[in-house]
Amino acid sequence: MAQGVNEAVDLSTAELAYLGDAVFELMVRDMLLNQNVPFGALNRRAKAYVSAVAQAGMYHKIFPGLSQREQAAIKRGRNLHNVSRSKNADVSAYRHATGLEALFGHLYHNGEMERLMEVFAMCVEEIEQ
């Protein structure tokens, strides 16, 4: 966990998105393992959550329920000029997915674990509807 280890370190938006990508995927994997998803289906099920298109949908669904500070973090990630491109999503979806990842990185880096879990639950709800 970043908070407490390097409290004085400020991360760039790109670094927060990088961190948030890993945090989000770990949360998805943990959730699927706790749901006793058969091993052979884990990657297929995870893709329903970690694809750029799915994350862009989550972005739009959760945005109104975020605080102003969280909205600022997610917008900074969305507006980040990425060098890489998704193979399976358009530029808009990829940018929104990056925004969601930046939010997860922001919450994790600041040690806001309870809020991180709340936001993750909102994201899961979007996919499971």
Q: Which residues are catalytic?
A: 21
H or E stretch at 88? none
User: CB of 10 within 8 A of CB of 96?
Assistant: no
- Which amino acid would we find at residue 95? R
User: CB of 21 within 8 A of CB of 57?
Assistant: no
